[in-house]
Chain A
Amino acid sequence: GAVVSQHPSWVICKSGTSVKIECRSLDFQATTMFWYRQFPKQSLMLMATSNEGSKATYEQGVEKDKFLINHASLTLSTLTVTSAHPEDSSFYICSATRGGPTGELFFGEGSRLTVL
């Protein structure tokens, strides 16, 4: 099946710094990528929908200036957590779809962010 890769898998940073997480579709062109946040023992919360070459669409309650999303190409989307704080610590998962109504989501391995 299709492969989506996230990097880094784990990141620890100091409060106030910014962290970038990359999401790549390795063997297909992803027309749309999604970023999710997952708290322990909870479901995935959709943060934003990212289409190549256009601005991301953020879900209600997600701060655009805090979570910067860039989808520069059909195989790469990045999530930058700016001025991270301990409450931003979470498991971030990206997913990508080939597009079309029946396209399934392919998920990255996830990135665990810990802000000290």
Chain B
Amino acid sequence: AQSVTQLDSQVPVFEEAPVELRCNYSSSVSVYLFWYVQYPNQGLQLLLKYLSGSTLVKGINGFEAEFNKSQTSFHLRKPSVHISDTAEYFCAVRYLKSNQFYFGTGTSLTVIP
């Protein structure tokens, strides 16, 4: 089965500390990878995406992610978090031959002052 796994459901971190949100996918075919952020009672906003090329992808709000094909991972990182980063983060995979996206279960990031 093809799926997306976000290993941590909740991640508390102190303000200005670094953070890594983990994402692994299971697929035997090529995929595109995305990270989305969701603030309370809002839709999802794209943080960054990996389509091809450099495996290190930089996104908005200082986030970056690294695609690791051998480990089938696409972990999201930020070197120094801010209170405003408190939100739900979703990893998603899109298979090249279809229009469908599959989402992970989400990671709730809480930044502690």
- List the interface of chain A (C-beta within 8 A of B): 1, 4, 6, 32, 34, 41-44, 46, 49, 91, 93, 95, 97, 99, 101-110, 112
Kindly supply a per-residue 1/0 record for chain B positions 6-47, scoring 1 wherever the CB is within 8 Å of any chain A CB and 0 otherwise. 000000000000000000000000001010100001111110
- Structural contact, B44 and A42, CB atoms closer than 8 A: no
Give the total number of A-B pairs whose CB atoms are below 8 A apart. 57
Which chain A residues border B36 with CB–CB below 8 Å? 107
Of chain B, the residue at the smallest CB distance from A101 is: B96
Give the total of B residues in contact with A, Cβ under 8 Å: 24
Instruction: Mark out the residues of chain B between 71 and 113 whose CB falls within 8 Å of any chain A CB in the assembled complex.
Output: 90, 92, 96-97, 99-106, 108
* A49 with B46, Cβ < 8 A, contacts A43-B104, A104-B34 known: no
Q: How far is the CB of B5 from chain A (nearest CB, A)?
A: 11
* A93 with B43, Cβ < 8 A, contacts A102-B32, A105-B101 known: yes
CA distance A79 to B45 in the complex (A): 21
- Structural contact, A32 and B46, CB atoms closer than 8 A: no
Of chain B, the residue at the smallest CB distance from A102 is: B51
Which chain A residues border B104 with CB–CB below 8 Å? 43
- Structural contact, B100 and A49, CB atoms closer than 8 A: yes
Which chain A residues border B103 with CB–CB below 8 Å? 43-44
- Structural contact, A32 and B105, CB atoms closer than 8 A: no
What are some 21 contacts across the A-B interface (CB < 8 A)?
Answer: A4-B43, A32-B99, A34-B101, A41-B106, A42-B105, A46-B100, A46-B101, A49-B99, A91-B41, A93-B44, A95-B43, A97-B99, A103-B99, A104-B34, A104-B49, A105-B46, A105-B92, A107-B45, A109-B43, A110-B41, A110-B42
- Structural contact, B100 and A107, CB atoms closer than 8 A: no
Of chain A, the residue at the smallest CB distance from B36 is: A107
- Structural contact, B43 and A104, CB atoms closer than 8 A: no
Given contacts A1-B46, A43-B90, A109-B42, 18 further A-B contacts (CB under 8 A): A34-B101, A42-B106, A43-B105, A43-B106, A46-B101, A46-B102, A49-B100, A91-B41, A101-B32, A102-B32, A104-B34, A105-B44, A105-B101, A106-B46, A107-B43, A107-B44, A107-B45, A112-B41
